[in-house]
Homo-oligomer: A and B are copies of this chain.
Amino acid sequence: MPRWESDAQGRLERAALELFETQGFERTSVAQIAGAAGLKERSFYRYFPDKREVLFAGNELEAHLVAQVEAADPGLTPIEALLTALGTAEEIFRPREFLLRRGRVIAANPALAERDLIKLADIADALAPALERRGVERGKARFIIDVVLAIHRRAMPRWLAEPDTTLAQLMAQAAAELREAVTLPAPRVR
């Protein structure tokens, strides 16, 4: 997203975030967002299907991750392929300061928090066939994806808080934390 700061989509995203912060998500209209971005209302719909979608950048992340898994070295294990793919996601991320503010707005609005959950589930659904094409059975593929998304969720707040780190480093750190947690004595079966 080299021109995100100035292009129409970026202007809409930043205008929406600003309005959601100052007057609330519910009280902000698509017309207001478009107006604040210096665009006509119908231009908004060229980029986003509705107001809830403006902070989720369409399917950019999903498409990026699927392409990364498809392109991953065949010698990588499924979990390595996914960790590597998610580790590169910062290439298409918005600036940290935007993401921090975005996170707060999403957490404060149930409609956006729900959309966030749905987006994540959509990403998991989209990644599963890419792992299956690497020979991973469907149920196992979904399991590995869920675990790697948990690792990603663990790494993100640290990445946002620590500007000198890479997401890949922090995901490797979270993966190590998981390894430690699960290699403790096996849980008793009752």
Contact = CB atoms under 8 A, between A and B. Distances in A.
A87 B190 contact: yes
7 contacts: A87-B187, A117-B121, A142-B154, A143-B150, A143-B177, A171-B187, A175-B186
A184 B143 contact: no
Interface of A: 76-80, 83-84, 87-88, 113-114, 117-118, 121, 139-140, 142-144, 146-147, 149-151, 153-154, 157, 166, 168-169, 171-172, 174-179, 181-190
A184 B153 contact: no
Count of chain copies: 2
User: Considering residues A142, A147, A169, A187, which has the most beta carbons from chain B within 10 angstroms of its beta carbon?
Assistant: A187
B142 A153 contact: yes
Contact of A190 (B117, B118, B140, B168): B168
Nearest to A146: B150
Chain A at the B interface: SS class:
helix
Contact of A118 (B114, B150, B178): B114
Contact of A178 (B147, B149, B172): B147
A98 to B, nearest CB: 22
Contacts of A175: 182, 186-187
Contacts of A184: 77, 79-80
A175 B111 CA distance: 33
